[in-house]
Amino acid sequence: MRVVTLISGRGSNLRALLEARRPGGALAGQPVEFACVISNRADAAGLAIAAEHGIATEVVDHRQHPERAAFDRALAERIDAHRPDLVVLAGFMRILSPEFVRHYENRLINIHPALLPAFPGLDTHARALAAGVKLHGCTVHFVTAEVDAGPILVQAAVPVRADDDPARLAARVLVQEHRVYPLALRWLAQGRVRVDEHGVARVSADTGDADAALVSPSG
């Protein structure tokens, strides 16, 4: 499975994916090849992470393509040069046009820092705290034309603590992001994911302790 990863900044999810190839990691021994990392910002810290791991990098600067459609076309051209089976958004902070999304139908995935469909969009951790939810988390999903919607591959929940602030909550969610994104790639590489006729992603995964309830507050 040839993967092109798109980033805009820090790149901690990218790092988690690359490190998951190590012995004992979720991607160890899996047929996953990271062909290229593309950023829309030349100053994205994640580009150095890619380079450290010997992965090719490119920049497609959105400021050089003021119109979204033109940027998306330039981006797709660079992506397609690598003939990817999967395009992975890892903190890629641009909204993509319906044409772009359609071009990568069923091979474009994103990680979002909330339990979708709750809290699409930005500032998810502050909004979760303001809403008083007791569980928060992250979602890996296929990308569709609607922003932060699309068939859900995997989610992880964390308890919201009484003394949380957005930064503390974000840090706890991020640990789970780094855990579930490699899992999603593993299942895709193994051909264990299908989207059914209702648009629901079905994963034939080991159930593990999937029945264990996460209750918060725990009482």
Residues in contact with ligand GAR by the rule CB under 6 A? 7, 9-13, 46, 90-91, 111-113, 174, 177
Q: How far apart are CA 136 and CA 72, in angstroms?
A: 32
Structure tokens at 49: 């992470």
- Three-class DSSP category at 189: helix
Q: Give 7 or 193: the residue with its C-beta nearer to ligand GAR.
A: 7
The question of whether 112 is a catalytic residue gets the answer: yes
Kind plus residue range of the DSSP H or E element containing 131: helix 124-131
Pairing mode of beta strands 108-112, 86-89: parallel
Q: How far apart are CA 3 and CA 34, in angstroms?
A: 5
Of 62, 82, 103, 112, catalytic: 112
Q: How far apart are CA 195 and CA 152, in angstroms?
A: 9
Closest residue by beta carbon to ligand GAR: 91
Q: Give 165 or 207: the residue with its C-beta nearer to ligand GAR.
A: 165
- Three-class DSSP category at 139: strand
Q: Give 46 or 84: the residue with its C-beta nearer to ligand GAR.
A: 46
Q: Give 44 or 189: the residue with its C-beta nearer to ligand GAR.
A: 44
Active site residues: 112
